[in-house]
Amino acid sequence: MNIKVNGKPENTAVENLAVYLRGRGLAPETLVVEHNGEVIRADRWADTLLREGDRLELLSFVGGG
């Protein structure tokens, strides 16, 4: 299926958000995910299904000084 991630087209066969994010190796404790305009809490990632045309925005927070 075709989705957009941070504004860029991507093709994936993954069916839910948790598996998708795990496959990208992203650290859940530093990640905010927006799915089709709605911020999704980490405890709902496994229940959030991905569908054709979905839009994801992935924001990762990095500490520094």
| Residue 3 to residue 51: CA distance in whole angstroms | 8
Backbone dihedral region of 37: left (phi > 0), alpha (psi from -120 to 50 degrees) or beta?
left
What tens digit of pLDDT does each residue of 2-14 get?
A: 999 999 999 999 9
Domain regions of the chain by residue span: 2-60
Residues contacting residue 18 through CB under 8 Å, at least 6 positions apart: 45, 46, 48
For 17-62, the pLDDT digits (tens) are 999 999 999 888 889 999 999 999 999 999 999 999 999 999 987 7
Q: How is domain 2-60 classified at the CATH fold level?
A: Ubiquitin-like (UB roll) (3.10.20)
